[in-house]
Amino acid sequence: MSRALVPILIILGLVIAGAAQSGCSLERSDQGASTATNGPASVCPGGPLSAAATDEPHTKWIADALYQIDTIKPGMTRADLLKVFTTEGGLSTRLQRTYVWQQCPYIKVDVRFKPDGDEKERLQEHPTDTIVEISRPYLQWMIID
């Protein structure tokens, strides 16, 4: 696991654990954002997801980011991936590359591909290459060539 992934997983784990501890659950709205609920009330009093404990705009932005990133799945093509992500500098081949989310260059995923066409061609990326594996999103400073 990448050291850059650990902080975001810890934060998300604390939020989810705190919600469960206070009797809250996380539910996805029709717009894709996650919200905390404990029955009919929309705020979990005293829990880490209460209005006093979170920065609502930032929390919604992260939830929206995770929802959008989660739309990319194995079996999709490189062209599908490029609707949500863009390439990052650094070392890569046709079979693997790190991508950054279009709305924030610090949110990244590592992707492995099955090449479409000539498998011996290791450098030329094709829009029809198929995603074999995509990592969980992680935070890391930008890499510039």
pLDDT of 138 strictly over 90: yes
| 103: containing domain | 78-139
Note whether 86 and 134 are same-domain residues.
Answer: yes
pLDDT of 31 strictly over 60: no
pLDDT of 66 strictly over 80: yes
pLDDT at position 10, please?
52
pLDDT at position 8, please?
56
Note whether 89 and 33 are same-domain residues.
Answer: no
Task: Calculate mean pLDDT across residues 71-76.
Answer: 98
Q: Residue 144 falls within a domain, yes or no?
A: no
Q: Residue 50 falls within a domain, yes or no?
A: yes
Task: Calculate mean pLDDT across residues 67-78.
Answer: 97
Q: Residue 123 falls within a domain, yes or no?
A: yes
Query: Structure tokens of 145?
Result: 């060539």
The pLDDT mean for the chain works out to 77
Note whether 38 and 56 are same-domain residues.
Answer: yes
